[in-house]
Amino acid sequence: MTLLATSDLREDDTPMSATPLETSFTGGDDRALKDAYDQYGSFVYSICRRSTDESTAADITQEVFIAAWRNRARYDATRGGLGPWLAGITRNKIIDHFRSVSREDRRIDKVKNTPQPAEPTEQQLEEVTLRMLLVEAMDELPERARNVITMAFFDDLTHVEIAARTGIPLGTVKSDIRRSLDRLRHGLGYIHG
């Protein structure tokens, strides 16, 4: 995703601000932990489930939210949304899990002398996490903006071609793309911040 810059500025060049959930979460409001889990629990579980079984995915999901709550003071909304921050913690917890399993498997293999199944690499986990974050960030865009971004970056159409195809004025197409990229950048901030 080299198309995304590292700046987290809105259209009017003001810094991205924290959502009410992000503010209450970093402030230590007990209800915020439940709200964060309600909003992002299935997302975190989905990342875990792509590389582990159901039981392990559920355990890692709980570990992620415990770690996030304990380290909530480290969260900085200007660097990205709560979802990407949790995804980064998730990626680290999955890696920790496989390192732990690998150590245990090596001990068992010394006794059994059987080959180990391949574990996902950090790069594979990063790619899965990034893809899931991108899908989530795209889903949060308004429909017109999502369609314009899709035409520009997945269908490889120029701004002029998009305007002609959709009937949207060229300036609006350009504005939609710029605003959408800012929102996507914020949605991916903790992964590539």
Domains of the chain: 20-139 (1.10.1740.10), 141-193 (1.10.10.10)
Give the pLDDT score at 12. Answer: 37
Kindly report, residue by residue over 128-156, the tens digit of the pLDDT.
777 787 778 888 888 999 899 889 988 89
User: Percentage of the chain with pLDDT > 70?
Assistant: 78
pTM of the shown model: 0.55
**Contact in structure between 87 and 42 (CB atoms under 8 Å):** no
What is the mean predicted confidence (pLDDT) over 28-44? 92
Give the pLDDT of residue 4: 32
Residue 3 tokens read as 């198309």
Q: So what's the pLDDT on residue 174? A: 93
- Maximum CA extent, the chain: 69
Nearest 10 degrees: CA dihedral of 120, 124, 130, 136? Answer: -50
With 80 as the cut, is the pLDDT of residue 125 above it? no
Burial of 162 (0-12, 13-18, 19+ CB in 10 A): buried
